[in-house]
């Protein structure tokens, strides 16, 4: 039985590595560019807020021309007052009060959509030409990013486009640097390839969605899931829309500077992934080909994280065991076992490190390779977050674990 479990675990690791290598090779080609024009679209920016007084003013100042809908979801730190003091005629403030407030980000976004449809005459009739740009309260759109996204919507099949996310304070610490690397790797490797398939993920900052695609999911397109963006993106693809990613269109956000806050954030993400497992039957029944494989890979990724956690515990137990057994030490400290372990553990660093160095532009390949190895270690945070998220789910705790903002309202340019 033990041999079977070890074989399954190693097979899972090899499968993930092979899949990552395939994504890397497919994403290495020239970037795809839309052939149409981005003219004729109406863009509405929607910014959901919960206690964002530290950062909301700078976010609104960075948004380009167009209507801005700020949804204050029951803040008690003066967020609404900060927005009012801006006296910006573009900004429309929607204030939600308890008991309706603080029911999750998805409910705040649905509230914004209802007001948007009521306040824009003919919005349903022209929904194909209306775009909703979703920004988090710490988001900073870089110049030209929105203009780079709009031409993708010339294709009537495109329902949503995700911008590339960068960490504005990535130079502050090694932890923020790893978060920036995480977004770059995900965007440049996985998202570029998923974009060609038509199933790029939508998440957090910098989502731009066609109003018609949102309405195809009902008058309440966002769910109560803790990762309502993951849920929305999958359902949009299942409804027949294509989703794309534009890595060169960037939006900056704050990175977390504390390990505890990072685990807390990732626990929410992981718990939301567990909630999204309910979409697996819909994917198997309504999707096919590479789209089905891609969506299932995303939805089932929590299972691979649990496999990785058991393998890590097994390695730790083995290292403890060799301290008490001379025979075990003799068997373990041989060239073949050591090289095999290194390749299985850090092989991806030779792909991810140089990729990040090339995109980041502020380091050489050797330093990038070093970051690649650190990035493998950094991902161990997911093992802790996974079990914490599972424990919260088992206890029925579904409250939103809000990310705290830094006082600095203006992270550096990407």
Query: What's the whole-number mean pLDDT along residues 251-265?
Result: 94
Domain annotation for the chain: domains and CATH numbers = 42-256 (3.90.550.10)
Q: Look at 126-130, 293-297, 392-396 and tell me which has the smallest mean pLDDT.
A: 392-396
Is the confidence at residue 26, as pLDDT, over 80? Answer: no
pLDDT at 100: 86
Q: Look at 30-34, 57-61, 263-267 and tell me which has the smallest mean pLDDT.
A: 30-34
pLDDT at 228: 94
Core vs surface per residue 158-186: b (16+ CB within 10 A) or e: bbbbbbbbbbbbbebeebbbbbbbbbbbb
State the pTM of this model: 0.88
For residues 274 and 271, what is the distance between their CA atoms, to the nearest angstrom? 5
Query: What's the whole-number mean pLDDT along residues 176-192?
Result: 95
Q: What is the pLDDT of residues 106-162, one digit of tens each?
A: 999 999 999 999 888 888 899 999 999 999 999 999 999 999 999 999 999 999 999
Q: What is the pLDDT of residues 191-248, one digit of tens each?
A: 999 999 999 999 889 999 999 999 999 989 999 999 999 999 999 999 999 999 999 9
């Amino acid at each position: 039985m033990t041999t079977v479990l070890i074989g399954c675990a190693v097979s899972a690791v090899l499968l993930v590595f092979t899949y990552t290598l395939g994504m890397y090779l497919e994403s290495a080609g020239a970037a795809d560019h839309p052939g149409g024009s981005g003219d004729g679209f109406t863009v509405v920016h929607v910014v959901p807020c919960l206690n964002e007084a530290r950062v909301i003013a700078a976010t609104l100042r960075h948004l380009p021309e167009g209507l801005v809908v700020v949804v204050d979801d029951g803040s008690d730190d003066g967020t609404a007052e900060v927005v009012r003091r801006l006296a910006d005629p573009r900004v429309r403030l929607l204030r939600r009060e308890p008991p309706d407030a603080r029911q999750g980000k998805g409910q705040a976004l649905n509230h914004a959509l209802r007001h948007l449809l009521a306040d824009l005459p003919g919005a349903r009739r022209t929904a194909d030409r209306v775009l909703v740009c979703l920004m988090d309260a710490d988001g900073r759109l870089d110049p030209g990013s929105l203009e780079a996204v709009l031409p993708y919507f010339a294709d009537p099949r495109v329902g949503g486009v995700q911008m590339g996310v960068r960490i504005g304070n990535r130079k502050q610490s090694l932890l923020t640097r790893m978060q920036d690397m995480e977004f770059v790797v995900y965007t440049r490797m996985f998202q570029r390839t998923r974009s060609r398939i038509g199933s790029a993920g939508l998440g957090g900052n910098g989502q731009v969605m066609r109003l018609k695609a949102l309405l195809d999911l009902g008058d309440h397109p966002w769910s109560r899931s803790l990762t309502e963006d993951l849920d929305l993106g999958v359902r949009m693809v299942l409804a027949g829309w294509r989703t794309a990613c534009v890595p060169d269109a960037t939006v900056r956000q704050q990175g977390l500077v504390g390990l505890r806050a990072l685990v807390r954030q990732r626990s929410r993400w992981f718990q939301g992934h567990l909630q999204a497992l309910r979409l697996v039957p819909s994917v198997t029944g309504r999707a096919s080909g590479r789209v089905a494989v891609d969506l299932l890979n995303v939805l089932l990724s929590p299972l691979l994280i649990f496999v990785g956690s058991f393998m890590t515990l097994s390695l730790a137990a083995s290292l403890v065991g060799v301290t008490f057994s001379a025979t075990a030490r003799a068997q373990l400290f041989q060239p073949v076992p050591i090289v095999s372990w290194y390749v299985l553990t850090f092989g991806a660093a030779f792909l991810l490190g140089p990729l990040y160095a090339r995109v980041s532009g502020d380091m050489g390949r050797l330093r990038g390779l070093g970051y690649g190895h650190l990035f493998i270690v950094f991902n161990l945070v997911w093992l802790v977050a996974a079990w914490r998220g599972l424990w919260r789910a088992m206890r029925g705790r579904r409250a939103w674990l809000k990310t705290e903002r830094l006082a600095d309202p203006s992270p550096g340019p990407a």
